[in-house]
Structure 1
C-alpha cells in the first residue's frame, strides 16, 4: 500500500508484495500486513485491492504516485493491465523490478507529473492514488486529471494521511526534521470528502485505518534505528503487543474503534458516475496520450 508517514512507506513492500501462500517475514512486516488486511487491504480471496475495489482481467488500473509499486503488483497478480506512474526514477526502477518478479506482461511504469498525466481520456476502469494529494501544489488539478482519465463507472481508491496522525507526528518528529522546507498539506476528513465530490466523483465509502502504524511511527524517532532495519526493543514490544491484541476475541472490534480515533490514513472509495461534455472515449488498448 502507498500509505506513508513523514518517514516513508508505512507498509514494508516485502510484506504487501508477498503472493498468496508465501511466507511473510516475521515482525513488523507480518503484523503490518495482517493489520492492513483486517482493515480491508489486499484481499487475495476476493481480488479486492481494498474492500469495494475488485481487480480483474477486464480492468485497466492507473496507479498515480505508485511509490514502490505495492498496489500495482497486487493488481497485475489479479490479471489487470496496469499503468504505474511516478516522477521519481529510483522508485520506478523498484516498481519495474516488482512487476518483473510478478511476471507482469501487461504493465507499464512511466515517469510522469501527476498534474498532467500522459494518458488519454477515459482509459481506466480503476484509478489508485494513495498518499499523494497532500504533496502536490494543486490537489484539485490532480483530481481533475484523475477524473479525466477514468471511464464512466470507474472506481477510485484514494487516501491521504489523517490530520490527527499528522498532529501526533508533529510532537514525535525531531526538531531538525520539522525545520526542513517543503512542509506538506494537512487535509481534514471533511475537506478530503469535499475535494473528491467537487471533482465530480461519488463517494462510496470514506473510512480510516492504521492506528497500529500511527503509534509505530510515533515511537520510531526515539529508537535511533534505520528504516531498512528497524529492530529495537521499543518497536518490537509494540509490534508484539498489537499482534497479541488482534488474536483476542475483542481485538478486531478495538482495532476498528482505534482506527477511527487515531488512524494513519483516511481512505475514500469513489465512482465516476456521469459523463462531462469534455469527456471522450478512446480505444482502451491505446492508453497513452500522443500529445503528452
Structure 2
C-alpha cells in the first residue's frame, strides 16, 4: 500500500488544510515559518547551554575502523566486553591465570580467546567436534597455557562437581529443551565462589527476527525458545544463585542481523555484503560523534541484541 499522504486530497484555494476556514492555505504560511524559527532558536540555545558546561574527560575508545567485524568488536568493548585493562570478559566477570574456565557452546572459540590470553586454563565444550578443533587450534596459536576439549551436549556436562571457577554459556540457552536443568548443571560444575556468565537473545529482536528470518531459524537445532525479560533471572534465583549483574547490549548487532537476511549469498564470514559494511560505517560515524555513546546506550536499552547475566555460586 502506498503512503497515506499520496492519497490525501490537496487543499484548494478556498479551503485550508489546517482549519475549517474557507481561506487560501497561504494565509497560514507566516505562522508556520514562525514555528520553524522558534525551533531553530531553541536548538541554538540548547547547543550554547551544552557548550557552556564543563567538558567531560575523554573516554578511552578502541581505534576506529570501517570493517563490519571491527565495528562489531568496538561496539562490544564499549558495552563492557573484553576489557584488557581490567581483565574482564564482561563487566563483573574477571578472568586471570588462577582461573579454570569452561566455555559451553564455544563454537570456534571467539570469546574463549580473550580468557586464554589472560592466562586462564580453558576447557572448550561444544556439540560440534569440527568447531572444537578449530577453537583449540585458534587458542593454542594465541599462546594459551592449557586447552582441552569436550564434545558434549552438556546433558550432563562430563565434569566433576565444583570443577571450574568460571563458566561461560553465551547464546546457548535458546537452543536447549530444559533451561532450568541446563543452568542447574552449570551451577553443579562451578566451584563455590565462582562466576557464571550467561547471555540469551533479547525477546524484542527475536520477535522481529520471527518476521524476517527464514523459518528454520526458529526450528531445531536453532532457536527453540524466546526468553522474556526477567525469565532467565527467575530461573537463576530459583536455583539459589546470586545475580551480580543484569544488563543488555547490542543494538548495532540487532540491526546487523535484521539486515543480514536481505543480503543474498551472504555467509557468516567476510567479505561482507555492501549493506552490512554500510551499516558498520554508519555506526562507526555515530560512535565518533560527541553524543555517540549516549545515543548508543539509549538504543542498546530500547532494542538490544542480548540479555546478559553475571551470576555467582555462593560458598
TM-score, normalization by structure 1: 0.81
Deviation per CA, 1:85-136, whole angstroms, max 9, x where unpaired?
Answer: 1111121111111122112231111111212111111111111111111111
Q: Aligned ranges for residues 101-112 of structure 1 at < 5 Å?
A: 101-112=141-152
Counterpart of 1:94 (choices 126, 130, 134) is 134
Question: Could you say which residue in structure 1 is the equivalent of 2:282?
Answer: 241
**Counterparts of 2:107 and 2:220, CA distance in 1:** 21
1:124 aligns with 2:164: yes
Q: Could you give the per-residue CA deviations for residues 201-238 of structure 1, whole angstroms, max 9, x where no partner exists? A: 10011111110011111111112132223533322221
Correspondence for 2:122: 82
Partner of 2:235: 195
Counterpart secondary structure, 2:265: coil
* Unpaired stretches in structure 1, ≥5 consecutive residues: 1-21, 275-292
Relative contact order, CA 8 A, sep 6+: which one is greater?
1
Pairwise CA distance, 1:73: 1.6
Q: Which residue of the other structure, out of 251, 255, 258, is the alignment partner of 2:292?
A: 251
Q: 1:170 Cα shift?
A: 1.3
Secondary structure (helix, strand or coil) at the match of 1:153 reads: strand
CA distance in structure 1 between the aligned counterparts of 2:218 and 2:176, rounded to whole angstroms: 20
* Number of equivalent positions: 252
Is 1:266 paired with 2:271? no
Change beyond 3 A, Cα 1:93–1:212:
same
Does residue 157 in structure 1 map to residue 197 in structure 2?
yes
Following TM superposition, by how much is the alpha carbon of 1:181 offset from its aligned partner in structure 2, in angstroms?
Answer: 5.3
CA change 1:59–1:218 in 2 (3 A) is same
Q: Within 2, Cα distance between the matches of 1:245 and 1:25?
A: 12
* Distance in structure 1 (CA, Å) of the matches to 2:209 and 2:238: 29
Alignment pair present for 1:146 and 2:186: yes
CA distance in 1, matches of 2:166, 2:270: 34
Relative to structure 1, the CA distance from residue 180 to residue 115 in structure 2 (aligned partners, 3 Å threshold; closer, same or farther) is closer
Mark the CA change 1:231 to 1:151 in structure 2 (over 3 Å): closer, same or farther.
Answer: closer
Matched residue SS, 2:262: helix
| Cα distance, 1:143 vs structure 2 | 0.8
Alignment of 1:217 with 2:257, yes or no, is yes
CA change 1:181–1:202 in 2 (3 A) is closer
Higher helix share: 2
Supply the distance in 2 between the matched residues of 1:181 and 1:89 (Cα, whole angstroms): 18
Partner of 2:109: 69
* Kept in 1: contact 2:210–2:218 (CA 8 A): no
Which consecutive residues of structure 2, in runs of 5 or more, have no partner in the other structure?
A: 1-61
- Contact map agreement 2:140 2:147 (CA 8 A) in 1: no
Q: Is the 8 A contact 1:95 1:109 kept in 2?
A: no
Question: Which of these residues, 77, 89, 95, is aligned with residue 49 of structure 1?
Answer: 89
1:35 pairs with one of 75, 83, 102: 75
For residue 9 of structure 2, what is the aligned residue in structure 1?
none
**What RMSD, in angstroms, separates the aligned Cα atoms of the two structures?**
2.0
**Separation (CA, whole Å) in 1 of partners of 2:211 and 2:130:** 30
| Secondary structure of 2:175 counterpart | coil
Matched residue SS, 1:168 = helix
